[in-house]
Amino acid sequence: MKILVCISSVPDTTSKINFTDGDTKFDTSGVQFVINPNDEFGLTRAMWFKEKQGAAVHIATVGEAGVEPTMRKALAIGADEGIRVNAVPTDGYFVAGQLAEIVKKGEYDLVIGGRESIDYNGGMVPGILASMLGMNFVNTCIGLEIEGDKATAIREIDGGKETVKADLPLVIGGQKGLVEESDLKIPNMRGIMMARKKALNVVDPVDATQATEDVSFDKPAPKGQVKMVESVDELVDLLHNEAKVI
Amino acid sequence: MSILVYTESENGKFKKNALEVASYAKAVADQMAASVTAISFNASENESLGTYGVSKVLNVSNDTLKTFNAEAYAKAIAEAAEKEGAKVVVVSSSANSKFLAPILAAKLKAGYVPNVVEAPDSTEPFKVKRTAFSNKGFAHTAIKTDIKIVGVSTNAFGLKEDQTDASVADFSPELKEDDFSVESVEVDKVAGKVSIADAEIVVSGGRGLKGPENWEMIEELADVLGAATACSKPVSDMGWRPHAEHVGQTGKPVAANLYLAIGISGAIQHLAGVSASKTKVVINNDPEAPFFKAADYGIVGDAFEVVPKLTEKLKEFKAENE
């Protein structure tokens, strides 16, 4: 089985978010970049398939050279080789267009993306990619088993979960649940050393549609002071008469 | 020209988010001098959408679509959009809508923007405000394609009545066996329980509750409020509560009107997941808990004393106000 894990390089979850250039760009200064958490669950699941059932695991990222440390971390976790599309990931449509080219060329059986990235939160790349290629797609995937060319996936739905069956080739939008957080792999020294020797191929972008453009950004209005209350009577009164939520 | 809205239903009844996205679609239609057409699947009471400004309903009556199927639903919505000449398609932010919208985007060659919180900033260019950076920022995003897909955040726009006479027509999309190649085998839902995604009020518990055996008081409080129950990440990691209840950056986002956090200290990832909620109440025995800084109302106290008192008070309040 040949698996492609799509990796997004995102600001660490604790990063402060600021904007520059007249609030038109995300301010990356001082920001630590990491593997998108939803992608990390998918990467670990891919490593599980590699270890238990035998699979070649490649990773792909659309980004300029600055994303390579994040990709090296994914290689240190155990992915076999990486492909970087040398382009600024302008929107989900454009990224899906780039990845579609890689999937077509690489003839992957399984493509794992995250449910969404924790920066732009578009949540569309795996679905658009699958549709572009005519591949089956399961979103918000919290469980995945594969036997031969048949997949059984569990996806999270509002208020519960759903089990679905689909043939490979398959694209999933994965998240926590694909593996437990305690099972996430941390690169060890041997992995880090080996990752240095693994192929990280850089390819030029293909022509692809950019369907949307983030014109400007702003931040939520500063929060007012918390109102500390002494009793539940006072709280219920405030929720009813002031906040008007009950 | 019309604005097409996908209205979700369950067992034939429209979900609240269907009425919210219909309200949103009407606001877009007013800005663009257009009308609103809804597409519904196996729904009864289609005329009721007229209350929210829908003037035409295309109802798909098809037994093969009784269970949600992203590919088949997207195909039907795409066909309806083409038939109606729709320039904008509005969907909700439910798990199902977020599943089908990217497929629909590819089918219609349309730009898709999820997590939208307000009516469009402008319609030429078509620009909407959405949350980004896990609710730590907003982006104003222009959609550059001919057809646009907008995903509206839950509880962001609200219900806006605008009484219109809605005509209802049967709609039979052309579906093939291939459209059902992802096959639903089993749906496991807790019957009668409010889901976090649909909830206007969410009652959430953290490590401060000390163990899963103490969740009864959270559930009782949620029952009184008609709320969904949720939990912090450590609680789901320890298996006290199912992962589906974990709210936060890698869990579920919560955009409730009222979020009650009990025994949750407020890690930054948790705050990111709940910051779209309008009113936040924190009950914690640690006055230094970071969550107090992000809250609207706070009570410093022992959850085991405060929560039962609050439940009793709310029962009285309900009895007096119903």
Spell out the domain ranges in chain B.
Answer: 2-180, 201-320
β-pair partners for A161: A156, B188
Q: Given an 8 Å threshold on Cβ–Cβ distance, is B141 in contact with A215?
A: yes
* Position B249 confidence tier, pLDDT thresholds 50, 70, 90: confident
DSSP-derived letter for residue B139 is E
Looking at residue A159, its pLDDT comes to 87
| pLDDT above 80 (res A103) | yes
Q: Given an 8 Å threshold on Cβ–Cβ distance, is A216 in contact with B140?
A: yes
Which pLDDT tens digit goes with each residue over A39-68?
999 999 999 999 999 999 999 999 999 999
Looking at residue B198, its pLDDT comes to 82
* Position A202 confidence tier, pLDDT thresholds 50, 70, 90: very high
Neighbours of B192 (CB within 10 A): 6
Model's pTM, two decimal places? 0.95
- What are the start-end ranges of the E strands in chain B? 2-7, 9-10, 13-14, 35-41, 56-60, 88-91, 111-116, 122-123, 126-132, 137-143, 148-152, 167-170, 183-189, 201-205, 228-231, 258-262, 279-284, 297-300
Contact B235, B241 (CB under 8 A): yes
Class level of CATH domain B201-320? alpha beta
- B256 Cα to chain A: minimum distance (Å): 10
Q: Given an 8 Å threshold on Cβ–Cβ distance, is B140 in contact with A161?
A: no
| pLDDT above 80 (res B13) | yes
Looking at residue B274, its pLDDT comes to 93
Mean pLDDT for the stretch of residues A73-100: 98
| pLDDT above 90 (res B197) | no
Give the CATH superfamily of B2-180.
HUPs (3.40.50.620)
Mean pLDDT for the stretch of residues A104-109: 97
- A224 Cα to chain B: minimum distance (Å): 8
| pLDDT above 90 (res B253) | no
* Position B305 confidence tier, pLDDT thresholds 50, 70, 90: very high
**Residues of A (196-225) whose Cβ lies below 8 Å from B:** 209-220, 223-224
Mean pLDDT for the stretch of residues B239-267: 92
| pLDDT above 80 (res B315) | yes
Tokens at residue B190, please? 């807790």
Looking at residue B25, its pLDDT comes to 98
Contact B128, B143 (CB under 8 A): yes
| pLDDT above 80 (res B16) | yes
Mean pLDDT for the stretch of residues B268-275: 91
Looking at residue A222, its pLDDT comes to 86
ipTM of predicted complex:
0.97
Mean pLDDT for the stretch of residues A102-114: 98
Name the residue facing A236 among B127, B282, B317 (closest C-beta): B317
Looking at residue B258, its pLDDT comes to 97
Identical topology for domains B2-180 and B201-320: yes
Which pLDDT tens digit goes with each residue over B42-93?
999 999 999 999 999 999 999 999 999 999 999 999 999 999 999 999 999 9
| pLDDT above 90 (res B309) | yes
Name the residue facing A38 among B141, B194, B250 (closest C-beta): B250
- A111 Cα to chain B: minimum distance (Å): 15
Q: Given an 8 Å threshold on Cβ–Cβ distance, is B187 in contact with A243?
A: no
Alpha helices in chain A (DSSP H): 37-53, 68-77, 92-106, 125-133, 189-197, 232-241
Q: Is A174 on the interface with B (CB under 8 A)?
A: no
